[in-house]
């Protein structure tokens, strides 16, 4: 089962390809998503990587947390699911 990983403190120049290359050392990468501003298209400095197995995700978190990528020290940990929003906010 795939496990989603949060990657923070990304350089604004980090691409999905460079992130995929860093994580692929630890196993099969199912998906990579660098979050960008919808209006400017610029990176927001964080993203998500989904690893194919729990074991590769655990290894990637241990191996890449606090490691430098593109001049920035990464913050890597297991992603928390976003709580469901209440659409009845009024």
CATH number at residue 63: 3.30.70.330
Residue 10 inside a domain? The answer is yes
The sheet carrying 29-36 orders its strands as: 29-36, 43-51, 3-8, 75-78
The pLDDT assigned to 1 comes to 62
Number of domains in the chain: 1
pLDDT digits (tens, 9 = 90+) for 17-76: 999 999 999 999 999 999 999 999 999 999 999 999 999 999 999 999 999 999 999 999
Kindly state whether residue 84 falls inside one of the protein's structural domains: no
> Domain of 45?
3-78
Whether 89 is covered by a domain: the verdict is: no
Residue 23 lies in a domain: yes
What the block records as the tokens of 17 is 């390809």
């Amino acid at each position: 089962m795939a496990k989603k990983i949060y990657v923070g403190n990304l350089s604004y120049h980090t691409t999905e390809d460079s992130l995929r290359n860093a994580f692929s050392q630890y196993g099969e990468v199912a998906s990579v998503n660098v979050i960008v501003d919808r209006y400017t298209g610029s990176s927001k400095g964080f993203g998500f990587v989904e690893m194919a197995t729990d074991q590769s995700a655990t290894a990637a978190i241990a191996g890449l947390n606090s490691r430098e990528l593109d001049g920035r020290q990464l913050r890597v940990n297991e992603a928390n699911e976003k709580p469901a929003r209440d659409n009845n906010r009024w």
